[in-house]
Amino acid sequence: MKMIRGIVRPEKEMDVVKNLEKSGFTAYTKLDVLGRGKQKGIQIGSARYDELAKVMFILVVEDADVARAVDALKTGARTGNPGDGKVFVTEVEQAITIRTGEKVL
């Protein structure tokens, strides 16, 4: 299994949700986060914003579903401009259901 974390623009949140659901991914965690990428924030007039608001989606999927999930995130989040976000894919070593104690992997 893999954990996919996608960090996207807040205005693209609903597009990502729709794409994930359309692709069959209804289980995810969504968080409001702050951060900055290569552009190191933005300058608007005399105001400098070092950290920008983003939304992070977290999904755990079977290995065979990774490409489809990543594509759903990328398609929903893309504007073509700097700051569209990033997708990170990592290995999940173990998953346990809290209610039952059952190991999922």
CATH number at residue 38: 3.30.70.120
- pTM, two decimal places: 0.89
pLDDT one digit per residue (tens) for the chain, 105 residues: 999 999 999 999 999 999 999 999 999 999 999 988 777 777 787 787 888 899 999 999 999 999 999 999 999 999 998 889 999 999 999 999 999 999 987
pLDDT at 26: 94
Among candidate residues 59, 77, 82, the one with its CA nearest the CA of residue 12: 77
Say if CB 19 and CB 50 are below 8 A apart. no
What is the C-alpha to C-alpha distance for residues 71 and 62, in angstroms, rounded to an integer? 15
Domain carrying residue 51: 2-91
Give the separation between CA 35 and CA 40, rounded to whole angstroms: 9
Q: Count how many domains the chain has.
A: 1
Is residue 105 in some structural domain? no
- Name beta bridge partners: 61: 2
Residue 48 belongs to a domain: yes
Query: Given this model, what pLDDT does residue 37 score?
Result: 78
Q: pLDDT at position 10, please? A: 97
pLDDT at 63: 96
Q: Flag whether 28 is in a domain.
A: yes
Quick check: helix, strand or coil at residue 61? strand
User: Any idea what DSSP says for residue 50?
Assistant: S
8 A C-beta contact, residue 105 and residue 1 = yes
